[in-house]
Amino acid sequence: MEVQEIIKQASGVLLSVCFAIAYFPQIIRMIRNKSSRDVSLGMLILNLVGYSSGLIYVTSNEIARFWVVVNYTSGIVMTILTVFFWKYYIRKEIDR
């Protein structure tokens, strides 16, 4: 495998990992504080729409590259997970 291909694959991995784990600090913060007050649901909805649209775009235009698909798919999963925690903690705050 040549250096250029290794760099290309490594940057794809890094792209996907960074976007996927970008949600962890917010999720951990909600769990520690037992609060979702600081989370913007609007941002999460925009992220979900953006990731979903990106995934549809790259797959429907046959330009899908493995790491781009992984990136969009993991972004969708992490956004949904963050919305789950947001909803869980917002409900607990209302019940107090």
- The domain that holds 30 is classified in CATH as 1.20.1280.290
Which one is predicted more confidently, 95 or 29?
Answer: 29
Place of tokens 């790491």: 67
- 41-79 pLDDT, tens digit per residue, is 899 999 999 999 989 988 888 777 888 888 899 999 999
> Domain containing 59: what range?
3-95
pTM: 0.78
Domain count, the chain: 1
Query: Which pLDDT score, from 0 to 100, does residue 49 have?
Result: 94
1 pLDDT exceeds 80? no
Round to whole Å and give the CA distance between 53 and 72: 9
Higher pLDDT, 37 or 46: 46
Q: What is the structure's pLDDT at 21?
A: 87
CA–CA separation, 27 and 68 (whole Å): 23
